[in-house]
Amino acid sequence: MNLKKNEIYQTTVTGMTTEGSGVGRINDTVVFISNSAVDDVLKTKIIKTSKNYAVGRIEEIVTPSPDRAEPDCKYFAQCGGCTYRHISYEAELKIKHQRVEDAVKRIGGFQNLKINPVVRCESRCFYRNKAQMPFGKDNHSNTIMGFYAYHSHRIIDSDCCLLQPPIFSQISSIVREWAIKNNVSVYDEILHRGLLRHLYVRIAEVTGEIMVCLVINGKSVPNKNELTDKLKAVSGFKSLQLNVNTQKTNVILGKECIKLYGSDYITDVLCGLKFNISPLSFYQVNRTQAERLYSIAENYAQLSSDDVLLDLYCGTGTIGLSMAKKVKKLIGVEIIPQAIENAEKNAVLNGISNAEFICSDAAKAAVKLEKNGIRPDVIILDPPRKGCDKNLIETVVSMTPERVVYVSCDSATMARDISIFNELGYKPIEITPVDMFPATPHVETVVLMTKCD
């Protein structure tokens, strides 16, 4: 029997999707229900049907799952930022471990690979050091800013977010007030008109330095001095920048930044080293967990003083530089020029003289290094979500490192890539998941692979 839209059915949630929706079955049809928990018995209203599945909304919780907890955020039901504030942290960690295990078994084909417990984060609150808040208009044409609703570009007007440090709320209210007072237009995605697109804020947690960046569809903003003066009241305010994004795109940041006040970068401390971070450079959003992640990677790398270490997808050089003093030579590769500039300065800033950084696509640089006879002892890979190209993996293998340490923010592409490594003679030894993003479905993993003789 087909499910009917707007009808209410009862079901029990038996699993979770990788995006964190509960999964139930009604009349043999799979139904996805957001904000539900495994073992919930629910009355659900069908809001979408398609050939192979349906989407339901919770009408009534008949019997709550034992995993359930009271959400601590008033925006949770509408906001797309958090997925898991309605279940306990233990339940969330269990889901994340399962997600890694499923990927490794089903996609990677490894049935007995050791997967360690997920490294937990102390708190589900205030762990992010970066926020990107879209501007918009409500139905009465008032300027609003906040976060996107789940799977949508509808803006939930909000003045605080539990994932971010409270000081970000002070900044967003200053910027909001300035925008309203000066009648600054906000960007309309459909008409591709209006100036303010996103407020982008970063804090260096250890030094307290703050960078505020307005992403705009233009090159200048009105009354910038007023904005600067107001922001000077925020403790740690170090830099105000414009980021020019005049493209019709979902990508938040454009390529050009214009400094309005202060420094070009902020400086944080990670693994005992100082790092300069520019607006366009990648920097781990959860600093404390990043230190744990890197220490696991270092443990897996088993470096010694004669080693050459290759850090592919190095960003501002954080992983490699945190290990540079243990090796003979470090080579880092990264595609964003600003990040490489940061990486080079970061080496100098920390008195590291055995590091070389290359601005290039990782696969192309690897081919060149291989041709030039570079044979790293250990290669660290930390690709973006889409993982590595097969030809990059082949080049890495042809450099014959003893160990490959693969850091990943997407379990599915990680599982795919380690199975390619395995076919080419690099065996995965163990995996440690790290919870870098509590309350969201994302989970980071570090994998150790060694060369089979």
User: Choosing from 161, 359, 409, 452, which is the catalytic residue?
Assistant: 409
79 is catalytic: no
Query: Of the candidates 65, 83, 96, 100, which has an alpha carbon nearest to the alpha carbon of residue 20?
Result: 83
Does 7 interact with ligand SAH (rule: CB under 6 A)? no
Does 331 interact with ligand SAH (rule: CB under 6 A)? no
Work out how close the CB of 23 gets to ligand SAH at its nearest, in angstroms, rounded to a whole number.
Answer: 30
Does 335 interact with ligand SAH (rule: CB under 6 A)? yes
Among 319, 327, 355, 396, which residue interacts with ligand SAH (rule: CB under 6 A)?
319
Residue found by looking up tokens 């050791």 in the block: 114
- Closer of 282 and 421 to ligand SAH (Cβ): 282
Decide if 266 contacts 204 (C-beta within 8 A).
Answer: yes
Does 313 interact with ligand SAH (rule: CB under 6 A)? yes
**CA dist list (Å): 214 to 41, 133, 284, 336, 359:** 45, 10, 20, 20, 27
Which positions from 337 to 376 touch ligand SAH by CB under 6 A, shown as an x/- string? Answer: --x---------------------xx--------------
- Closer of 46 and 362 to ligand SAH (Cβ): 362
Residue nearest ligand SAH, Cβ-based: 315
Q: How far apart are CA 140 and CA 152, in angstroms?
A: 20
Does 315 interact with ligand SAH (rule: CB under 6 A)? yes
Does 384 interact with ligand SAH (rule: CB under 6 A)? yes
- CA triple 414-428-437, angle to 5 deg: 40
Decide if 329 contacts 309 (C-beta within 8 A).
Answer: yes
With a CB cutoff of 8 Å and minimum separation 6, the contacts of 191 are: none
Among 11, 318, 346, 395, which residue interacts with ligand SAH (rule: CB under 6 A)?
318
Does 321 interact with ligand SAH (rule: CB under 6 A)? no
Work out how close the CB of 286 gets to ligand SAH at its nearest, in angstroms, rounded to a whole number.
Answer: 11
With a CB cutoff of 8 Å and minimum separation 6, the contacts of 117 are: 93, 97, 433
Q: How far apart are CA 20 and CA 150, in angstroms?
A: 11
Does 138 interact with ligand SAH (rule: CB under 6 A)? no
Of 8-16, 58-66, 331-339, 436-444, which segment contacts ligand SAH by CB under 6 A?
331-339
- Closer of 307 and 311 to ligand SAH (Cβ): 311
- Closer of 21 and 286 to ligand SAH (Cβ): 286
Work out how close the CB of 433 gets to ligand SAH at its nearest, in angstroms, rounded to a whole number.
Answer: 16
Decide if 401 contacts 331 (C-beta within 8 A).
Answer: no
Number of shown-chain residues binding ligand SAH (CB under 6 A): 16
Catalytic positions, written as ranges: 409
Residues that bind ligand SAH (CB under 6 A): 282, 284, 313-315, 318-319, 333-336, 339, 361-362, 382, 384
